[in-house]
Chain A
Amino acid sequence: MELRVLAFLADGRIPSASTEDALKRAVDWGLDIIVAQGTGMDPGPHWLGSGQPYNLEAFKANITPYLKISQDQEIPFVFSVGTAGTDTQVEASLQKINEICKEEGLKFRIATISGQIDKKYLKSKIENGTKIKRIINTSWLKEYLTVIDVDEASNIVGQMGPEPIMKALEQKVDGVITGRALDSGLFMAAPLSRGIHVSVAAHAAKVLECAGFAATPGTPAEALYGVIRNDHFIVKPPNPTMKCTIASVLGHSMYERRDPFREENPGGYLDLSKVEFEQLDDVTVKAYGAQWVSTAYSVKIEGAKKVGYRTLFISGIREESLISQIDDYLATISRQMKETPPFATLDHESDYQITFRVYGKNGVLGELEPIQTTKSHELGLIVDVVAKTQELADSIGGYFWSRILVSPFKGRKTTAGNVAVPFSPPIVSAGEVYSFNVWHLLPLDDPLEPFRIRISDFPA
């Protein structure tokens, strides 16, 4: 039993000149399925909080070559889409798929699986006593999810496991499009359906899910080819300028994970401590030895809530006499702001929050910065205001712009202006700000329960 997989990333990566060529090679090698992940929370909570689609034209260019191969060679596909994978983002992505079908003359029957968790459903689980525990022990998350958390989140999504995808693949469809999904789950579905043991399916999925990142030179912008068999799998890149080595595959396994030996999944974890690798040829690596340990089934759910509106005042400081006293200077102006109407009546924790980002000093590391004395001849200063309304954020940002530009300081000679402002208007209204408030484990008796599947034909 073997399954031949082509893995790529569907998060809006524009194909390069080498993509078409690499696809041809993969097709020549033989393909049973094309799989890509297109969701993730790496870029922060904005897309989960706002539900706004991102980079749709790039997404269209990204997946078009693969949809064409799928049609041409009758190879099914499984893609997660939409950045945070909310329903609005999936709908926007499906519209792009519809456009591709019309423009390229393609026809698909597609199963769409929502990754958005219904709030009423979640609240009733909580009210009926289901304990939804936070994944990380941090004071930023409630230990157990509450009804208030659910209400405050603008969107909640869940990392569906392979099971809903397996169910969809059984339905005689040409492809499966999901919203938020467990990256590995996308790759596990087909091998599990074919009876390949979960230890091998889950390990292969883990290596394939970042595509060309597991090769060298490593880049997720390139595809990766894999053959999954009963007791091992092999990987090699279809791009002839790349290769998989034991080091490159191991390097990727470590990447972005908190534990290199244990990979948590819904329904179990993968013990990687006895994994073995073999370099089969210059470009191909064989892997085996991972062990699946079953546990209770639960899925990670993720949510973000709005915390305010942001305005930025960005300026550059070149005058060394201000650079040397910048902390005191900003502290003085902050104090004056708190004493000045209309700001004097505001609560400086719940109505607004100001963060000074002083690049060239400690803008990146803050209090972790080991270099205590700034020798820079130039600083980049961002006054970052987050407030309960955009008007208030703009108003506070405006106050800082006007005061920072002209306030006195000890030894000042620059009495015409203290900083260099690059833009007009000097302040930038940056819109809604979101923060993760749900990062919890939802126990499930039925892995399919929260994830609705529907089937439709494209083009519509």
Chain B
Amino acid sequence: MKLGELASIMRSKNAGPFMLSIDIIFNSWEIYERVKKSGLITKDGVAKIYGVSESAVHGVFFIDQGYGIKVSLIKKIPSGAIECTDTFGAQHHIPLRDLEIP
């Protein structure tokens, strides 16, 4: 199933103009654990999906307490740059949404 279908909340927002933060929250431990154990959400994997270097991925955080995963990465185009398409970073969860989870 796609990550976006498994998540109860999947959102992106800027953490400051230079960093994008994507939250994926599940409504059960079972689903959260399945995604966590798939090993598919990694710095390297995220870097490839977003077209940045691995060093630009600030972190992939697993929040057991909240059945959630947070991904933070340095944006190619900061908020407010002339060619920016998404000032709030609110629609940039999409590239990660279609990740297929077994």
Interface residues of A (CB under 8 A from B): 41-46, 135-138, 140-141, 247, 250-251, 253-261, 275, 277, 304, 307-308, 353, 355, 357, 363-368, 370, 384, 386, 433-436, 439
Contact = CB atoms under 8 A, between A and B. Distances in A.
Given A43-B88, A137-B74, A434-B80, A251 B66 contact: yes
B81 A435 contact: yes
Given A41-B16, A255-B23, A259-B61, A368 B50 contact: yes
Given A386-B82, A436-B80, A439-B16, A365 B21 contact: no
B68 to A, nearest CB: 6
B13 interface: yes
A200 B9 CA distance: 29
A365 B91 contact: yes
Contacts of B18: 135-136, 138, 140-141, 436, 439
Contact of B14 (A256, A355, A366): A256
A355 B98 CA distance: 27
B19 interface: yes
Contacts of A41: 16-17, 79
A360 to B, nearest CB: 14
Contacts of A434: 80
Contacts of B31: none
29 contacts: A41-B17, A41-B79, A44-B79, A136-B18, A138-B18, A138-B78, A140-B18, A140-B78, A141-B18, A250-B63, A251-B9, A254-B63, A254-B68, A255-B13, A257-B21, A257-B70, A258-B15, A258-B19, A258-B58, A259-B70, A261-B63, A277-B65, A353-B82, A353-B83, A355-B83, A368-B51, A384-B82, A386-B82, A435-B80
Given A42-B14, A254-B68, A436 B78 contact: yes
Interface in B47-102: 50-51, 55, 58-59, 61, 63, 65-66, 68, 70, 72, 74-75, 78-88, 91-92, 94-95, 98
